[in-house]
């Protein structure tokens, strides 16, 4: 089978047993260093992708995809169904549900904790929310939004909030609102006794520790909203990634009397921070690969030194400096290629089996890594575009690393090389 002469000699040099076994050892170390760098990079980025997706899902469970409110901060919406009928023809809108928002303090067992009240309509909330599966009636048995009945002033508390207040399902808690009522004793804050009918756990402390759900009609009475009016309504989108474009289309339809808020705007800082962390880790991992590539340079420099007599003979037989250069570039590219292949295979093997590996390590050393992050397992998502970029960078660096040693080999003068041989 025909092969270019430079490729044939380069591969032969790579496969051949050398007199100096140390050089062969350095070659294996170079391949291993590149493979280890790539493997680490793939695993780290896959775990970061998993955590990014986990954070997105847990936050969107409470934040929803897109919300519509009155432009006036103190305003409310009287007939949200009428507004929804104007925009529901948008192909990216799946469903809608009303909400009321409020703040206050919850008091029980001598403890006081700040709370964010979210009034929901059990008839619609399940169509836009993904926390239905996270609600329990007694920390064990599953429940849903239907346990919130109008007029009963029941509440579903976040698990950490319930624990901090020492509450269980069936207990009562006092809600203290910023609203003031005038009595014979003077101005006092409005207070209401609520019954704990359920507890939810999202695994996100910022929600589990401060959030409480109520029937939207009950919350409207507590915060003195007009009957059948709501703070706004939220939309479930077919594609949350184009929420901004959908929001602009809705604003064009409804006009300036209403404002929209997307999940992207609400969590802009959080996801920007995650992206910066991912970019930082990518840069650090790239430097690890760059360090491994330096071994390729040292390996080729020693090979060139060892092969000086052979280079001189090849030059004498008529091989050009460019062909000599290509021979040693083949060796470097071979090291980079196999290092990248091994690194990809090992990286995928670990990234796709992170949890069994973590479980094995926990079995040896004890502890539970997941508990530290409010997750039951370490999430890992392999994104193939990341793999392609990592492979391209690795192979590119390995190829560039061959240039100097190969150039030095091409500059070898036959007379000088053979003078003492």
Please tell me the pTM assigned to this model.
0.64
176 and 113 in a common domain: yes
State yes or no: pLDDT of 115 exceeds 60. yes
Residue 44 lies in a domain: yes
119 and 53 in a common domain: no
pLDDT band at 360 (very low <50, low <70, confident <90, very high): confident
Instruction: Give the helix ranges, DSSP H, for 209-306.
Output: 216-222, 243-254, 263-266, 268-306
State yes or no: pLDDT of 287 exceeds 60. yes
232 and 196 in a common domain: yes
Which residue, 255, 283, 299, sits at the end of a domain? Answer: 255
125 and 86 in a common domain: yes
Other C-beta atoms closer than 10 Å to the C-beta of 337 total: 17
Which residue, 255, 279, 305, sits at the end of a domain? Answer: 255
Residue 366 lies in a domain: yes
287 and 228 in a common domain: no
243 and 313 in a common domain: no
Look at the chain and report how many structural domains it folds into: 2
Residue 357 lies in a domain: yes
Which residue, 255, 278, 309, sits at the end of a domain? Answer: 255
277 and 368 in a common domain: yes
Residue 66 lies in a domain: no
221 and 175 in a common domain: yes
242 and 165 in a common domain: yes
> What Rg value do the Cα atoms of the chain yield, rounded?
33
Residue 161 lies in a domain: yes
27-41: pLDDT as tens digits: 777 788 888 888 888
119-150: pLDDT as tens digits: 998 888 888 877 766 676 655 555 678 888 88
For residue 86, give its domain range: 72-255
Least confident of 133-142, 160-169, 304-313: 133-142
Cβ contact 340:391 at 8 Å: yes
- pLDDT, residue 372, reads 47
CA atoms of 171 and 193, how far apart (whole Å): 10
234 and 159 in a common domain: yes
Q: What is the mean pLDDT of residues 390-415?
A: 78
- pLDDT, residue 41, reads 86
CA within 13 Å, CB half, 71: 6
CA atoms of 211 and 103, how far apart (whole Å): 9
State yes or no: pLDDT of 94 exceeds 70. yes
116 and 184 in a common domain: yes
Residue 109 lies in a domain: yes
pLDDT band at 113 (very low <50, low <70, confident <90, very high): very high
pLDDT band at 273 (very low <50, low <70, confident <90, very high): confident
Residue 401 lies in a domain: yes
245 and 118 in a common domain: yes
pLDDT band at 106 (very low <50, low <70, confident <90, very high): very high
- pLDDT, residue 187, reads 64
Residue 123 lies in a domain: yes
């Amino acid at each position: 089978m025909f092969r270019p002469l430079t490729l044939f000699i380069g591969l032969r040099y790579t496969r051949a047993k050398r007199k100096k076994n140390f050089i062969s050892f350095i070659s294996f170390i170079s391949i291993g260093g590149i493979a280890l760098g790539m493997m680490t990079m793939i695993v780290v980025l896959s775990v970061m992708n998993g955590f990014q997706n986990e954070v997105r899902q847990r936050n969107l469970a409470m934040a929803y995809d897109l919300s519509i409110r009155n432009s006036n901060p103190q305003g409310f919406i009287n007939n949200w169904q009428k507004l929804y009928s104007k925009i529901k023809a948008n192909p990216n809108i799946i469903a809608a549900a009303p909400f009321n928002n409020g703040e206050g303090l919850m008091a029980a067992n001598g403890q006081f904790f700040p709370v964010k009240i979210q009034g929901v309509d059990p008839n619609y909330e399940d169509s836009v929310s993904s926390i239905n599966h996270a609600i329990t009636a007694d920390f064990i048995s599953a429940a849903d939004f239907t346990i919130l009945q109008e007029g009963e002033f029941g509440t579903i508390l976040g698990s950490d909030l319930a624990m901090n207040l020492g509450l269980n399902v069936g207990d009562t808690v006092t809600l203290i609102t910023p609203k003031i009522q005038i009595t014979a004793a003077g101005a006092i804050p409005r207070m209401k006794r609520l019954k704990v009918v359920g507890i939810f756990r999202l695994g996100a402390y910022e929600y589990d520790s401060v959030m409480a759900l109520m029937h939207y009609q009950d919350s409207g009475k507590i915060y003195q909203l007009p009957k059948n009016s709501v703070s706004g309504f939220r939309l479930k989108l077919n594609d949350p990634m184009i929420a901004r474009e959908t929001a602009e289309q809705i604003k064009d339809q409804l006009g300036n009397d209403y404002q929209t808020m997307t999940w992207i705007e609400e969590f802009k800082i959080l996801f920007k921070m995650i992206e910066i962390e991912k970019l930082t880790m990518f840069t650090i991992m790239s430097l690890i690969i760059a360090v491994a590539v330096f071994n390729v340079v040292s390996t080729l420099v020693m090979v060139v030194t060892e092969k000086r007599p052979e280079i001189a003979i090849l030059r004498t037989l008529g091989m050009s400096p460019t062909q000599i250069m290509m021979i040693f570039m083949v060796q470097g590219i071979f090291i980079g290629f196999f290092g990248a292949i091994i690194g990809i295979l090992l990286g995928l093997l670990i990234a796709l089996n992170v949890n069994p590996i973590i479980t094995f390590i926990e079995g040896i050393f004890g502890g539970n890594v997941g508990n530290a992050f409010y997750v039951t397992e370490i999430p890992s998502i392999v994104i193939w575009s990341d793999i392609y970029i990592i492979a391209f960078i690795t192979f590119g660096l390995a190829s560039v690393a061959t240039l100097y040693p190969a150039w030095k080999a091409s500059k070898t003068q036959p007379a000088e090389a053979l003078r003492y041989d």
